[in-house]
Structure 1
Amino acid sequence: MEHLLNCMKIIGDDTIQRTQLTHRLELVNAFQLDKGMKVLEIGCGQGDTTIVLADAVGPAGHVVAIDIAPKEYGAPITLGEAAEAISKSSLGQIIDFHYETDFLQFDAEEKFDVVVLSHCSWYFQSTGLLESYMQKLKQIAHRICFAEWDIDYKHFGQRAHFYAANISALYTAYVENEGNIQNLFHKKQIKELLQTAGFTITKEQTVDASYLQDGGWEVDYSNYLLGEFPQVQPKIQSLINSYAYLMNEQQENILSLNSFVICAHS
């Protein structure tokens, strides 16, 4: 892990980064990648998962990492700053970053061994857009590995994260914004989208993520959003108030939702 932390040193607090990296290592382990594979990562962000993918495929492999956001996006470290630091690291030669890149316009010259979408689907503004991605993925990928938060939570301490995510999703229904939750997708929906696109599901797994900081971050952000909501219909306002109560009245320590992993082949 230490060499991966060195690659991400610019991004910030070592304790936070170590915790986040632990989870990404667990996700990529579930993806079961082989050395020498050619991987496309969609929604790479600041490259937290990208470096783990590069480490997994090794010097004989290659990772193409794309994101629709511009290099200037992100705080306190922008996507471009993170990519530049990673490119100068020991794994830099294995990775090609492409920002402001719409996957639907992305020209793939040959098929990838694996395409990875890890914790990026909630950014999608519609189910139809994600469906379009799946259909194109069928044309360029031998395998797809998909990971996202699992809203089918199992521990009572994960309830606050669940309701925080729902409040953020409701907010996007009324206010156009660039928040990291535009839609919530249940794992059953993802399976159906993959199967409709012609993929065969080969693996399903739950990966513990309860120890991550994300649940607390989302609760803090959703409490901020509660003061930003425009006037909505009384029934919707009642729903928002109920979610806020359930989110904030949780007595247990806030646990993050787990992640689900779905792998499929074309």
Structure 2
Amino acid sequence: MAPAFEPLPASAATKTAKYSIISAPEHLALEVAQSKHRIQLINFWRIPPGSRVLEIGCGQATCTTVLAEAVGPEGHVDAVDPGPPDYGAPYTLAQAQSHISAGPVGGRVAWHHAEPIEFLARNRDKTWDFVVMAHCIWYFASPETLAAMLSALKGRVDTLVVAEYALTAAEKAAVPHVLASIARASLVAHNKASQENIRCLLRPGSIKDAAQAGGWSLDSECVVVPDEGLLDGYWETSTVKSKAFTEEVDTHVQDSTVKTMLISSRDAVIGALTALDGKKARTLDVWIARFN
């Protein structure tokens, strides 16, 4: 399987700086952990060989490559993402996708640079066996975006499968990630132009409600604790404790009460990290679901 590169929850400058200080073996270990997590998701979702899959929010395609392997040579993946082709570090979306296209599973994937709802509108005759939303829902601009997408998909896809963070922490070391997620989403609510990963902090219950309203029925669900190698919690807490977070608060928040709340939220993240006695923050629990 060709390696892919996952976009990290930070500014491009932060991501480039992070990667500049790690070795190639460390980078490979990061990508292996990301891929192992996606394999776990796909095993729960029960996506069989030969499936036609629509992947929403493919990003730099870690999940896409695993999906392409799962569907086999008779299957196909339409991978959709509205992100700019030059987004990401050390490799951009365009570079990562081009690399995968040239690899052994590349012929099974079609890339679509588009807003998902617009893509569906332009391809009204297309149908799929599965639609995959793997850690993309928190990127959406609003709860209404998810509701509109789920309604548009009903009748064109047999099965909806979702993975998103559960906002729970079975491990103490994941508590800072929960707090950082809330802090980041709270700040983005006051900076609509933000390009950060967490824009709409939908909990599993809200996602299930939106799916039900769109005509979907829950088939199965579970919550898993990610392995220590999945470093999303470490990356997200790092962006919140950084000076850039306070600068963004100063720039985009005028209300003194809101500003105080956001800075206090950052302090809570730092306090939770301090309680770990030098250990890295772990990634919070992941909710996985399948709908028909």
Query: Normalising by the residue count of structure 1, what TM-score does the alignment of the two structures yield?
Result: 0.92
Matched with 2:68 is: 54
Match of 1:257 among 250, 271, 284: 284
d(CA) in 1 for partners of 2:166 and 2:236? 14
Q: Which amino acid aligns with 1:183?
A: C
CA contact (8 A) 1:10 1:85 kept: no
Task: State the SS of the aligned residue for 1:69.
Answer: coil
Structure 1 segment 25-40 matched on structure 2, within 5 A:
25-40=39-54
Matched with 2:118 is: 105
d(CA) in 1 for partners of 2:108 and 2:144? 33
Q: Which runs of 5+ in 2 are unaligned?
A: 7-23
**Residues paired across the two proteins, number:** 259
1:215 is aligned to 2:233 = yes
Task: State the SS of the aligned residue for 1:219.
Answer: helix
The percent of aligned pairs where both chains have the same amino acid is 29
Indicate the RMSD between aligned Cα atoms, in angstroms.
1.6
Match of 2:210 among 165, 172, 193: 193
Matched with 2:173 is: 157
d(CA) in 2 for partners of 1:187 and 1:259? 10
The offset of 1:108, in angstroms, is: 4.2
Q: Which amino acid aligns with 1:146?
A: V
Give deviations 1:112-152, integer Å, cap 9, x for gaps: 00000100011111111111001011131110001111102
Q: Which amino acid aligns with 1:249?
A: G
d(CA) in 2 for partners of 1:226 and 1:68? 28
Judged with a 3 Å threshold, the aligned counterparts in structure 2 of structure 1 residues 9 and 63 are, in CA distance, closer, same or farther, namely: closer
d(CA) in 2 for partners of 1:132 and 1:215? 29
Query: Normalising by the residue count of structure 2, what TM-score does the alignment of the two structures yield?
Result: 0.84
1:229 is aligned to 2:249 = yes
Matched with 1:74 is: 88
CA contact (8 A) 1:27 1:207 kept: no
1:125 is aligned to 2:145 = no
CA contact (8 A) 2:5 2:62 kept: no
d(CA) in 1 for partners of 2:161 and 2:4? 27
d(CA) in 2 for partners of 1:79 and 1:108? 26
